[in-house]
Amino acid sequence: MAGLPREVVVLTAVAFSVAVGFGIVVPAIPIFAKQFGVSNTAAGAVISAFAFMRLVSALGSGRLVNRVGERVVLATGIGIVAVSSALAGLAQSYGQLLLLRGIGGVGSAMFTVSAISLLLRVAAPDQRGRATGMWQSGFLFGAIAGPALGGPLTDISLRAPFFVYAATLAVAGSIGMLFLTHTPLHEREAAAKNAPQRTTLIEALRVSGYRAALVTNLGNGWALFGVRSSLIPLFVTSGLGASATWVGIGFFVSAATQGALLLPAGRLTDTVGRRPAMIIGATVATLSMGLIASLESLPFYVLAMALFGAGAAFLSVAPSATVGDVVAGRGGTVVAAFQMTADLGAVVGPLVAGWLADEYSFAAAFAVTTVVLAAGIVAALLSRETRHRPQPDPEPEHTASPTPAT
């Protein structure tokens, strides 16, 4: 934490508050939906609606960041999720619940895109890895604490978690409004006289490091936010014939490993480089899924979950730091496209892996996940380092100049 801007600590506190509330409400959502007499598929659609609306509204959120700034979008997004969550707790029908959770997904996209954009702007180039690691730590520890509180709360009332979620979001929004109001972004931009005011998505896509960040983030969303949550519990209980306790053990091992390595991964990203950190993360995560796909046993499952936590630590830090290197000024759409890849993986991954598990085997589902993660290794190996100065890949625009670009 030494030397990091105050805003990084504030954003980490905001992330923790948001993640705690989300962890509290998630276990209650499908159970609450079932109270309206709907099927299991319809109950799951309430969760999918949130993720889907995050995905489709991300680019719009990025454009809004470019237009009005990160802080306004961040506060508005948190406000939308808070109000929609409180109203969801009062829902009197399945349709109302589904609609309100979809609206919450729009607010969530606004918050995520604006928070990442702000984080990458306030951190200096040699701090982005550690800053991202801290921010991700806030989410991780909040996500661990939330379900521990949400379970007992759900036993008391199925509606109470929605109100508590709204309250934690109000806390997060208050923290942001109090401590981020006077962040001197304009002064920092003025100091960088030679930097362009804003990086467009087309310009970012010309940088091989940014393309590698997109591919690795897709794999991270596919595996970490999708397959791990949806398929691993079924694999342990049905594929390995073990109790649900082993699901919890594996998830704990994975989360503990990721939490322990987030800050070291951030430091390595800042000192050694983004490209090596992406290669390490993608390689270790790929190895973990390969182990599960090929060696179906409890000891290898626990080992694979530990490896996956280690890989996820690097994949949660290095790609984001790369995006920060590429973005100049308000790069809302650049950050939004990056976030969309993780959301796309989280939406498509469980569907594809679930279908493969039903039609073929768990091994086939994890094998495809391994391939998706391995694509990140290839993309990172083919990329160039962005820590000092990101460069576009095509030929220089001024071909008549005898002096090559440096």
CA distance 281 to 159: 39
- In this predicted structure, the answer to whether residue 297 has a pLDDT above a threshold of 60 is yes
187 vs 112, residue with greater confidence: 112
153 and 267 in a single domain? The answer is no
Close Cβ partners of 70 (under 8 Å, ≥ 6 residues apart): 114, 115, 117, 118, 121, 185, 330, 332
Strand stretches in 223-328, DSSP E: none
SS3 at position 95: helix
Instruction: Please give the pLDDT value at position 42.
Output: 78
Whether the predicted pLDDT of 190 surpasses 50: no
Does the structure show a pLDDT above 70 at 394?
Answer: no
Q: Give the model's pLDDT for residue 392.
A: 58
Is 160 part of a structural domain of the chain?
yes
pLDDT reported for residue 401 = 43
Kindly state whether residue 185 falls inside one of the protein's structural domains.
no
User: How far apart, in Å, are the Cα atoms of 39 and each of 36, 45, 48, 300?
Assistant: 9, 10, 14, 35
* Half-sphere exposure at residue 96, Cβ-oriented, CA atoms within 13 angstroms: 12
Is 184 domain-assigned? no
Task: Record the tokens describing residue 317, joined without a space.
Answer: 């830090």
Q: Is 8 in the same domain as 146?
A: yes
Contact between 292 and 304 (Cβ < 8 Å): yes
Q: Match 């091994």 to its residue by tokens.
A: 363
CATH number, residue 143: 1.20.1250.20
- If asked whether residues 217 and 171 sit together in one domain, one would say no
Indicate if the pLDDT at residue 73 is higher than 80. yes
Task: Return the minimum-mean-pLDDT range out of 48-62, 93-107, 385-399.
Answer: 385-399
Q: Are residues 167 and 220 in the same domain?
A: no
| Of residues 173, 178, 161, the one with CA closest to residue 101 | 161
Q: Which of 212, 199, 126 is nearest to 393 (CA)?
A: 212
Is 70 exceeded by the pLDDT of residue 195? no
Q: Which residues form the domain of 52?
A: 1-178
Residues 269 and 172 in one domain: no
d(CA 186, CA 202): 24
Residue 306, pLDDT above cutoff 60: yes
In a domain, 406, yes or no: no
Per-residue pLDDT, averaged over 203-212, amounts to 92
What torsion, rounded to 10 degrees, do the Cα atoms 232, 235, 241, 246 define? -10
pLDDT of residue 87: 95
Question: Whole-angstrom Cα distance, residue 186 to residue 227?
Answer: 41
Choice between 384 and 24, residue whose per-residue pLDDT is larger: 384
Say yes or no to pLDDT of 2 above 70: no
Q: By percentage, how much of the chain surpasses pLDDT 70?
A: 89
Give residue 8's Cα distance to chain centre. Answer: 17
Q: Residues 307, 353: one domain?
A: yes
Mean pLDDT over 142-165 rounds to 82
What are the residues facing 35 on neighbouring strands? none
Domain stops at, among 178, 210, 244: 178
Residues 6 or more apart whose CB falls under 8 angstroms from that of 63 comprise: 332, 333, 336
Of the candidate ranges 68-82, 141-155, 192-206, 254-268, the one whose mean pLDDT is the lowest: 192-206
- pLDDT at res. 182: 62
In a domain, 357, yes or no: yes
Q: Is a pLDDT exceeding 50 seen at residue 130?
A: yes
Q: Could you report the per-residue pLDDT of 313-357, keeping only the tens digit for each?
A: 999 999 998 998 888 766 778 888 998 998 888 888 888 888 888
CA 21 to chain centre: 16
Residue 116: pLDDT band with limits 50, 70, 90: confident
CA triplet 347, 349, 355: central angle to 5 degrees? 110
> 174 with 203, same domain?
no
User: What mean pLDDT comes out for the span 193-200?
Assistant: 61
In this prediction, residues 45-53 reach a mean pLDDT of 82
What is the average pLDDT value for the chain, to the nearest integer? 84
pLDDT at 305 over 60: yes
The C-alpha atoms of residue 313 and residue 260 are separated, in whole angstroms, by 9
Q: Could you tell me if 205 and 110 lie in one domain?
A: no
pLDDT higher than 70, residue 194: no
Using alpha carbons, list the distances in angstroms from residue 394 to 146, 199, 207, 376, 380. 46, 16, 9, 21, 17
Q: What is the mean pLDDT of residues 40-67?
A: 83
pLDDT of residue 330: 67
Residue 331: φ, ψ to 5°: -100, 50
Whether residues 254 and 317 fall in one domain: yes
> Is 188 a member of any domain?
no
Q: What angle do CA 26, 27, 29 make, to 5 degrees?
A: 65
pLDDT at 197: 62
Q: CA 212, CA 219: separation in Å to the nearest integer?
A: 11
> Do 160 and 224 reside in the same domain of the chain?
no
In the prediction, which pLDDT does 212 show?
96
pLDDT surpassing 80 at residue 229: no
Across the range 244-271, mean pLDDT stands at: 88
Model pTM? 0.79
What pLDDT digit, counting tens, does each position of 4-29 carry?
788 888 888 888 888 888 888 877 88
Could you say which DSSP state residue 127 is in?
A: G
Structural domains of the chain, count: 2
